[in-house]
Amino acid sequence: MSPVRFRFSPSRRVTQTLRDLARRRPDEAEIYLEEHQDEWELLAETVPEDAADILEALDEEGAAELLTGLPPDDAGEVLDEMKPEAAADVLEELDPATAAHLVEEMEPDQAADVIDALERDEREAVLAHLDPEVAAEIERLLAYEPDTAGGMMTTDVAALPVGMTAGEAIEALRRLHDELGSNLTYVYTVDERGRLVGVVPFRELVFARPGQGLDELVVRDPVAVTPDTDREQVVELIQRYHLQSIPVVDDERRLLGMVRFGEAIEAAQAEAGEDLAVMFGAGEEESVFTPVRESVRRRLPWNLFNLVAGFVTVFVVAQFEDTLARYALLAAYMPLVAGLAGNSGAQAIAVTIRSIAVGELPPGRELRAVRRELAVGLVRGAIIATVGALLVAATVALLAPSPNPGQETVGPRELAEIIWLSMMVGFLVAALAGSSIPLLLRRLGLDPAVASNIFLTMTTDAVGFGSFLLTATLLL
């Protein structure tokens, strides 16, 4: 269940301990690290990922103090590993000149994300203090939407002219080694105008003879994306072709940067999490860091939509006022049917959306998927409706021992019949609606998750309450 600890060197074990301490008792961790500056510097230099975790757990002030105690290049690497929002919180503690100095040490893509997360005033102050060239690059990256290839790419790329030999390429790469670090996974070859020609897998460089031309090793016409390519598609291409990174080019095929697979993992998580949020009309990018005002702005339209959609149910139920006036107890059992149908439909939606997301639902399989859900709904309906009817028959005597004057009683058997029939209808409608709503939304060119659940609730509420009251009206 756990990663292998016994293989960790002592320093890694110490790191783990410090990380855990920082999460549980941040103040103690802060004091310890401030008193053990050497240990902190070693940690930041060797495992910036863990140093980033520790800073994220501390309060902003303490984190800022520890960060500025590091050599600038190490501080830059730690900032690279922090969540952009958390890194921005820490930089806001520093004066703009110091913050700008640290931002210059960061990877351009992460630097842009952090600048984007700064408060407006602070952002402008930091940009003003940045080296003009770095500022220009960051502003260029900021222009891309975060959920596009442009927003995901790094501009630190190994690009070599075609026409070099393998030996010359290795010499050139040796010089880039320190600067590019772990970005040095693929080498892209470009022509004299900077246009992407091909890609040389590192593996091939290992096996090449020094005099061999790069053009013999290069894979021509590599899959590439433009900055406006959607995040989802970037992930699909990286995954489909098992790429460690995918090049980003402009309209004239000039190499602009590359998206690394790590970004693709994060994007895959974000995309899938997005479905969950979007399904209920929470914001796509919303998190516990999102300001209240922003959250309200994002969710309110769906709440309003839900309010208006809810009137469908109000009108349906209102049609049965006579029945309800005669048998008030029915109102107590009514929500049971709609609630079960709603949850059962949401199960169908969840499975359908996930199958769409992983590409298992091409147009040809749509009808089969709906039929399958109907079958699942029929079987579950039969079981749950029967159990439900029995439970209802058992409780009706408990809940209505003596009817009120002017009220008519509903017998256990009659109520059981009403429950059974309307639950069956509810389960079937839920199966149909839950599987077809996301597919219909996709057909309309919309995100299948968007508001699926609100449409579903509208349907299952109206049908659930309606079929319950209609059955009651007919049977009683």
Strand partners, 241: none
Distance (Å, rounded) from C-alpha 362 to C-alpha 369?
A: 10
Query: Does residue 215 bind a copy of itself (CB under 8 A)?
Result: no
Q: Give the residue with the Cβ less far from a copy of itself, 379 or 446.
A: 379
- Which position among 71, 216, 220, 254 is part of the footprint of a copy of itself (CB under 8 A)? 220
| CA atoms of 373 and 352, how far apart (whole Å) | 9
Does residue 106 touch a copy of itself according to CB under 8 A? no
Contact flag: residue 466 with a copy of itself (CB under 8 A): no
> What minimum distance in Å lies between the beta carbon of 28 and a copy of itself?
13
Binding positions for a copy of itself, 421-460, rule CB under 8 A = 453-454, 457
Output 40 or 302, the one with its CB closest to a copy of itself: 302
Is residue 176 part of the contact set for a copy of itself (CB under 8 A)? no
Q: Write the CA distances from 161 to 62, 165, 170, 171, 220, integer angstroms.
A: 46, 10, 13, 13, 14
Please name which of 368, 338, 342 lies closest in space to residue 355, comparing C-alpha atoms: 368
Contact pick of 16, 68, 212, 407 for a copy of itself (by CB under 8 A):
407
Of 31, 97, 128, 325, the residue at the interface with a copy of itself (CB under 8 A) is 325
* Closest-CA residue to 73 (of 122, 106, 42): 106
Q: How far apart (Å, rounded) are the C-alpha atoms in residues 456 and 8?
A: 50
Q: Does 351 bind a copy of itself (CB under 8 A)?
A: yes
209 in contact with a copy of itself (CB under 8 A) = no
d(CA 230, CA 14): 41
369 binds a copy of itself (CB under 8 A): yes
Does residue 135 touch a copy of itself according to CB under 8 A?
A: no
Q: State yes or no: residue 162 binds a copy of itself (CB under 8 A).
A: no
Sheet hosting strand 196-201, strand order edge to edge: 159-161, 186-190, 196-201, 219-220
**Per-residue contact flags (x/-) with a copy of itself for residues 57 to 96, judged by CB under 8 A:** x-------------------------x-------------
Asked if 361 is part of the footprint of a copy of itself (rule: CB under 8 A), the reply reads yes
Question: Any contact of residue 126 with a copy of itself (CB under 8 A)?
Answer: no
DSSP summary character for residue 284: T
For residue 183, give the DSSP letter: G
Helix (H), strand (E) at residue 187:
strand 186-190
Residues 379-398 that bind a copy of itself (CB under 8 A): 379-380, 383-384, 387-388, 391, 395
Tell me which of 97, 128, 143, 272 binds a copy of itself, using CB under 8 A: 272
- CB 344 within 8 Å of CB 434: yes
**Which of 35, 132, 206, 445 is the binder for a copy of itself (CB under 8 A)?**
206
- The residue ranges of DSSP E strands in 234-293, in sequence order, are 245-249, 255-260
Under the binding rule (CB under 8 A), the answer on residue 275 touching a copy of itself is: yes
- Does 268 contact a copy of itself by CB under 8 A? yes
Residue 130 or 336 having the CB closest to a copy of itself: 336
**Does residue 170 belong to the site contacting a copy of itself (CB under 8 A)?**
yes
Say whether 165 sits in a helix, a strand or coil. Answer: strand
Q: Is 46 in the site for a copy of itself (CB under 8 A)?
A: no
Strand-strand pairing, 219-220 and 255-260: unpaired
Residue whose tokens read 């509810």: 426
Which is closer to a copy of itself, CB of 84 or CB of 96? 84
Task: Give CA–CA dist 356/350, Å, rounded.
Answer: 10
Contact 447, 458 (CB under 8 A): no
200 binds a copy of itself (CB under 8 A): no
* Coil vs helix vs strand at 300: helix
Q: Build a one-symbol-per-residue string for 242-261: x at contacts with a copy of itself by CB under 8 A, - elsewhere.
A: x-x----x---x------xx
